Structure 1
Amino acid sequence: MNHHGCQHLNEFKAAKGTEPFRIIHTCFIACASADARRLKAAHCRCHTCNQPAFRLHACLHCVYFGCYLDKHIQEHARSTNHNLAVDLHYGAVYCFPCGDYVYDSELEDMARSQWGKASSSLGIKERIFAPWEPNDTETELLRKNPKRRKVEVASTVGLRGLMNLGNTCFMNCIVQALIHTPVLRDYFLSDQHDCQTGVVKKCLVCEMTRLFQEFYSGVRTPHIPYRLLHLVWTNARHLAGYEQQDAHEFLIAALDVLHRHCKGSNGLNYSNPHHCNCIIDQIFTGGLQSDVTCQKCNNVSTTIDPIWDISLDLGPGPPCGNNNNSSNSSPGSGYSNSPGNYEPTSLIECLKRFTKPEHLGSSAKIKCSNCHSYQESTKQLTMKKLPIVACFHLKRFEHSTGYHKKISTFVSFPEQLDMTPFMSSSRNNNNGYCNQIVQESAKSLSCDNKYSLFAVVNHSGTIETGHYTCYIRQHKDQWFKCDDHMITNASQQEVLNSEGYLLFYHKQILEYG
Structure 2
Amino acid sequence: MPTSSGASRARPSFSAATDVYARSHALYHTYGQVNGLHRISRPPLPKIHQNSSATRSNSASSSQLRQQQRAKSTSCLNGDSVLLPSRKLPPDPAAAGHHRGANGSNAAASSSSTSAGRSVNGRRRSSVSLHERGMVGLSNLGNTCYMNSMVQCLSHTRPLLELLMRSSSESIDPPPGRLAAAYQRLMRDMWSSSAAAVISPTELRSRLAKFAPRFRGSGQQDSQECLRYLLEGLHEDLSRNSERHPRLPAIDYDQLDRLSDSEKSLVLWQRYTKLENSPIVDIFVGQLKSTLQCCECGHKSTTFDPFWDLALSIPRGNRVSLAACLDLFTDPETLDGNERPKCDKCKTRRRCLKSFCLYRLPTILVIHLKRFSGERYRTKLNTLVDYPFDLDLSEFVDTDLRGKQPAHYSLYAVSEHSGTPMGGHYTAIVRHAYAIDRWVAFSDASVRRSSESAVVSSQGYVLFYERTKRSHTDYN
**Alignment of 1:464 onto 2:422:** yes
1:403 to 1:226, Cα distance in 2 relative to 1, 3 A? closer
Give 1:244's aligned residue: 220
2: distance between equivalents of 1:233 and 1:243?
12
Give 2:306's aligned residue: 306
- Post-superposition offset of 1:189: 1.1
**Alignment of 1:509 onto 2:443:** no
- Post-superposition offset of 1:381: 1.9
1:480 to 424, 440, 451: 440
2: distance between equivalents of 1:195 and 1:236?
22
- Post-superposition offset of 1:357: 0.2
1:421 to 389, 395, 401: 395
1: distance between equivalents of 2:382 and 2:409?
25
- The code of the aligned residue for 1:423 comes to V
Give 2:198's aligned residue: 222
Secondary structure at the counterpart of residue 200 of structure 2 = coil
CA RMSD of aligned residues (A): 2.9
Q: How does 1:284-303 map to 2 (within 5 A)?
A: 284-303=284-303
Give 2:367's aligned residue: 392
Q: How does 1:370-409 map to 2 (within 5 A)?
A: 370-400=345-375, 404-409=378-383
2: distance between equivalents of 1:452 and 1:464?
32
Q: How does 1:79-158 map to 2 (within 5 A)?
A: 155-158=131-134
Asked whether the 8 Å contact 2:318–2:384 carries over to 1, the reply is: no
1:187 to 158, 163, 166: 163
1:369 to 1:356, Cα distance in 2 relative to 1, 3 A? same
1:90 to 1:501, Cα distance in 2 relative to 1, 3 A? closer
**Structure 1 vs Structure 2: percent identity of aligned residues?**
34
Tell me, which stretches of 5 or more residues in structure 1 are unaligned? 1-86, 92-152, 317-341, 428-440
Paired residues in the alignment total 313
1:368 to 1:483, Cα distance in 2 relative to 1, 3 A? same
2: distance between equivalents of 1:211 and 1:224?
9
Asked whether the 8 Å contact 2:382–2:458 carries over to 1, the reply is: no
- The code of the aligned residue for 1:359 comes to T
**Alignment of 1:346 onto 2:321:** yes
1:501 to 1:372, Cα distance in 2 relative to 1, 3 A? same
Give 1:258's aligned residue: 234
**Alignment of 1:496 onto 2:456:** yes
Secondary structure at the counterpart of residue 328 of structure 2 = helix
- Post-superposition offset of 1:380: 1.0
Tell me, which stretches of 5 or more residues in structure 2 are unaligned? 1-92, 98-128, 243-265, 471-476
Secondary structure at the counterpart of residue 345 of structure 2 = coil
Give 1:361's aligned residue: 336
- The code of the aligned residue for 1:193 comes to I
Give 1:207's aligned residue: 182
Give 1:61's aligned residue: none
Asked whether the 8 Å contact 1:420–1:446 carries over to 2, the reply is: no
- CA offsets per residue over residues 185-243 of structure 1, 9 Å max, x none? 1111125423567xx5xx21111221121111121321101110011110011222211
Asked whether the 8 Å contact 2:146–2:222 carries over to 1, the reply is: yes
Secondary structure at the counterpart of residue 408 of structure 1 = coil
Secondary structure at the counterpart of residue 159 of structure 1 = coil
Secondary structure at the counterpart of residue 411 of structure 1 = strand
Asked whether the 8 Å contact 1:288–1:383 carries over to 2, the reply is: yes
Give 1:280's aligned residue: 280
1: distance between equivalents of 2:353 and 2:445?
49
1:461 to 1:89, Cα distance in 2 relative to 1, 3 A? closer
1: distance between equivalents of 2:131 and 2:397?
37
Please report the TM-score for the alignment, with normalisation by the length of structure 2. Answer: 0.61
Give 1:36's aligned residue: none
Asked whether the 8 Å contact 1:315–1:343 carries over to 2, the reply is: no
1: distance between equivalents of 2:160 and 2:277?
14
Q: How does 1:168-187 map to 2 (within 5 A)?
A: 168-187=144-163
1:88 to 1:176, Cα distance in 2 relative to 1, 3 A? closer
- CA offsets per residue over residues 140-184 of structure 1, 9 Å max, x none? xxxxxxxxxxxxx88211111100000000000101111110111
1:195 to 1:165, Cα distance in 2 relative to 1, 3 A? farther
Secondary structure at the counterpart of residue 421 of structure 2 = coil
Q: How does 1:21-32 map to 2 (within 5 A)?
A: none
1: distance between equivalents of 2:371 and 2:377?
14
Asked whether the 8 Å contact 2:319–2:384 carries over to 1, the reply is: no
- CA offsets per residue over residues 328-369 of structure 1, 9 Å max, x none? xxxxxxxxxxxxxx8871111211221100011111121112
- The code of the aligned residue for 1:417 comes to L
Q: How does 1:310-329 map to 2 (within 5 A)?
A: 310-316=310-316
- The code of the aligned residue for 1:458 comes to E
1: distance between equivalents of 2:197 and 2:357?
44
Provide runs of 4+ in structure 1 moved above 4 Å. Answer: 87-91
1:293 to 1:155, Cα distance in 2 relative to 1, 3 A? same
